[in-house]
Amino acid sequence: MSEKPNGNFNVGVDLGTSNLLIYVEGRGTIFNEPSFIAVDKASSKVVSVGFEAAELVGKVHDKVEVVKPLSGGVISDVGMIRDILIFTFDKLFVNSAEQIRKLLICIPSDITETEKAAILQLGKELGIDDTRIDEEIKAAAIGSGVDIYIPSGHLVVDIGGGTTDFGVLSLGDVVLSKSIKVAGDYFDKKITDYVKEVHKLEIGPQTAERVKIALASLTGELPKDEEGKTLTYSAMGRDLVSGLPSKVVIKAKEIRELLIDSFESIRATLIATLEATPPELTGDLVENGIIVTGGGAQIKGVKEYLEEVTHVEVHVSQTPMTAVVEGTKKLLKMNKNHYFGEF
């Protein structure tokens, strides 16, 4: 095992519903795994986190519990967040109490003041006096290359795992924000329910996610394979009639119809955000366009769909999955006198 590096570290954390990402100054983004933690119920000992814990979903006995500390953009268990961070920091050979000088945790926009206080307290419990929090939408904008500190408005749409967040930013802070619980996890649930109702097959959330990744599209031109045939996905699960293992072939057209229906809420909230934007910033948004980040930014046709809805140019982040943690790099370098986030 490698020795823990010497020196103090500034650490940025993207506390996402789907993935936990950790950036260590001088070392880069060194952790990007699913936000799952597996715990032994009897001893409360952490068994695994990230990919290893995600692999246990639906496959463990009653002595082990697999948990997502954040669900739908809401903190379901602060204690589990503490455990997952401690376990991960140790895994990365970073001792949280002794070697982390500054910790920045990015959180969903819709989080309550009580939850914010709990996260700040969590940092102190880890032994890190300089703990800061900031909104994911703000870090995502910075991580996508947007200079939010100039007097010009920018609109960011972050289609994450638990929520889709909408934020208008100017002069280094969030001027207006909205959040809805229609995002990656919601799409997966829609797929699970659809396959159950139409194909009479019960599938798990991870299978639903794989179907989404393989077939998701908002355009009339459905995804095709190398031979030019429209893509399909063979989903394995339990036949609701026979109770036996079975599989069905799901077509890209089916998933497109589900997504179009789901994106109606995103469309409506985006329009509401634009309508609520101060007039002085509206012209900036037309000139600067809309930035889309998060896992949902990778859905085929999302750019064209949102441009048709808003008549505003849409820019998909070049690093949609890591934009938030990329943004923590700059936020960590800023001193307190010029930092516009929360402390």
What are the mean pLDDT values of the chain's consecutive 10-residue runs (343 residues total)?
56 91 90 92 90 86 86 79 88 67 86 86 84 92 93 95 93 92 95 97 93 92 72 94 95 94 96 95 94 95 96 95 93 61 41
Supply the pLDDT for residue 258.
Answer: 95
Residue whose pair of structure tokens reads 């119809």 in the numeric block:
257
**Backbone phi, then psi, for 45, in 5-degree steps?**
-80, 140
Query: Given the DSSP bridges, would you call strands 100-107 and 130-135 parallel, antiparallel or unpaired?
Result: parallel
| Global pTM exceeds 0.85 | yes
Instruction: Look up residue 121 and give its two tokens.
Output: 């307290």
Query: Considering only CA atoms, which of 119, 147, 143 is closest in space to residue 133?
Result: 119
C-beta separation of 316 from 324 below 8 A: no
Residue 16 domain-assigned? yes
226 and 80 share one domain: no
- Residue type, position 33, single letter: E
231 class by beta-carbon count within 10 Å (0-12 exposed, 13-18 middle, 19+ buried): middle
DSSP state of 29: E
- Residue type, position 56, single letter: L
- Residue type, position 139, single letter: A
β-bridge partners, 133: 105, 342
Residue 152 DSSP SS3: coil
Residue 3 domain-assigned? no
Residue 2 domain-assigned? no
Domain count, the chain: 3
- Sequence-distant (6+) residues with CB within 8 A of 304 are 218, 219
198 and 87 share one domain: no
Supply the pLDDT for residue 341.
Answer: 44
Q: Which residues of 166-205 are buried (b: 16+ CB within 10 A; e: fewer)?
A: bbbbbebebbbbbbbbbbbbbbbebbbebbeeebebebbe
Instruction: Look up residue 249 and give its two tokens.
Output: 């072939």
Instruction: Look up residue 314 and give its two tokens.
Output: 């849409």
- What's the rounded Cα separation, in Å, for the pair 160 and 210? 16
Handedness of CA 337, 340, 341, 343 (dihedral sign): positive
**Backbone phi, then psi, for 38, in 5-degree steps?**
-110, 130
53 and 116 share one domain: yes
- What's the rounded Cα separation, in Å, for the pair 76 and 185? 15
196 and 329 share one domain: no
Supply the pLDDT for residue 140.
Answer: 95
158 and 89 share one domain: no
Instruction: Look up residue 180 and give its two tokens.
Output: 């809805």
Supply the pLDDT for residue 6.
Answer: 46
Supply the pLDDT for residue 93.
Answer: 62
83 and 209 share one domain: no
Residue range of the domain that includes 202: 184-258
